[in-house]
Amino acid sequence: MAIIGYLIRRILTGILVIWLVATAAFLLFFARPVGTVARQLAGKAATPQTIQEVINNLGLNQPISTQYWHFLDGLVHGNLGYSYFTQESVDTMLKQDLPATVSLVVGGMVLWLLFGLTVGIISATRARSAFDRVSSVLVLVGLSMPTFVIGELLILWVFQPLNQHGITWIDTGYSGITSGLSSFIGHMILPWITLAAVQAAVYTRLSRGQLLDTLGEDYIRTARAKGLPERRVIFRHAVRAAMTPVISQLGVDVGTLLGGVVITETVFGLGGIGQVSVQAVFQDNLPVIVGFVIIAAIFVVVANILVDLVYAGLDPRVRIT
């Protein structure tokens, strides 16, 4: 029952957060001249009368309070509106672009956790060894490399040579999992590596530092003094305690990245909500901007709720009430 009550409170808080974020995006649009988008739609040679007609058609001539009411009414009924430029439903755009972004972030997350935590744990348990020193250098390289550079290098050194030798399994663009698991992985493997390269470096450094601190705690020395096997001391006690800040960081990273990994999406031509949302910002395309901001906020809220639940499972001192 405590968990149910906790979830209800977090969901209500999440709804409040989403409303505040959506309202901020709505008001930010009106902080700029509303005629900007009308001029873009009407064209450079448009007359003032034509621009005014476009403003009227979009409903931008109505009071902000009226437009805000229509905006809230649409949100409640699950209608995010239509793009000013293509007249395409924002709901449809999300259905088209969201799978690419989710596929990229989830696959990248698996890779960066697998490599980041593995290297971090080995480095912490073998501190100042050759492996630890080499991994520290590689971490600095990973943290220093911009995402677009890693992506371009993979295209130049992996994608192009393979295609020149007739190996077309690895490709760019997005191919959904419904087209086949092999095709899906072939299209996503390089974007996954690109996204995971920088994040794995972050998690290697974080997990190593946390685990080193934990291994110096009194209860770890007590466990060793009792004669427990070293493997059990490390994985049953030390790693479990050290993972709590890592899980907290994971919730922030996944929620943020799902809101838009525009660089990786652009380099590999995946589409995705990040690429489309940036274009919408430059166009002052309010319905698309607000729709994508809401989705990003939902990701952050859900990710943080899940993190709190996992956090409580890892740390027995944390109680969900």
Residues 269-317 have pLDDT tens digits of: 888 887 788 788 777 787 888 888 888 888 888 888 888 777 767 666 6
pTM above 0.75, yes or no: yes
Q: Which CATH number is correct for 91-314, 1.20.1270.10, 3.30.70.1560, 3.40.50.720, 1.10.3720.10?
A: 1.10.3720.10
Q: 204 pLDDT band (50/70/90 cuts)? A: very high
Q: Which two tokens stand for residue 6?
A: 């906790």
Highest mean pLDDT among 31-35, 49-53, 153-157: 153-157
- What is the CB-side half-sphere exposure of residue 171 using CA atoms within 13 A? 14
The number of residues making up the chain comes to 321
What is the chain's mean pLDDT, rounded?
84
- Listed in sequence order, the residues at least 6 apart from 294 whose beta carbon sits closer than 8 Å to its beta carbon are 18, 21, 22, 75, 80
Q: What is the spatial distance between Cα 212 and Cα 279, in angstroms, rounded to a whole number?
A: 44
Of 251, 154, 249, 158, nearest to 195 by C-alpha is 154
pLDDT the model gives residue 216: 85
Contact 67, 55 (CB under 8 A): no
pLDDT given for residue 111 in this prediction: 93
Read off the pLDDT band of 121 (50, 70, 90): very high
Where in the chain are the domains?
2-76, 91-314
pLDDT, tens digit, 9 for 90 and up, residues 210-251: 999 988 888 888 888 888 888 888 888 888 888 888 888 888
Predicted pLDDT of residue 253 = 84
Q: Tokens 């995971």 correspond to what residue? A: 196
| Sign of CA pseudo-dihedral 175, 176, 179, 180 | positive
Which residues lie across from 82 on neighbouring strands?
Answer: 89
Mean pLDDT of 121-145: 88
**Using CA atoms in the order 266, 104, 159, 177, what is the torsion angle rounded to 10 degrees?**
-120
Count Cβ atoms within 10 A of the Cβ of residue 47 and give its class: 0-12 exposed, 13-18 middle, 19 or more buried. Answer: exposed
- Rounded CA gap, 210 and 216, in Å? 10
10 Å CB burial of residue 208 (0-12, 13-18, 19+) is buried
Rg from Cα positions in the chain: 24
> Over pLDDT 70: what percentage of the chain?
91
**Contacts by residues 311-319 (CB-CB < 8 Å, ≥ 24 positions apart):** 311/244, 311/247, 311/248, 314/240, 314/241, 314/243, 314/244, 314/247, 315/241, 315/244
Q: Using 50, 70 and 90 to split pLDDT, how confident is the model at 203?
A: very high
pLDDT category at 34 given cuts 50, 70, 90 is low
At 166 the pLDDT is 87
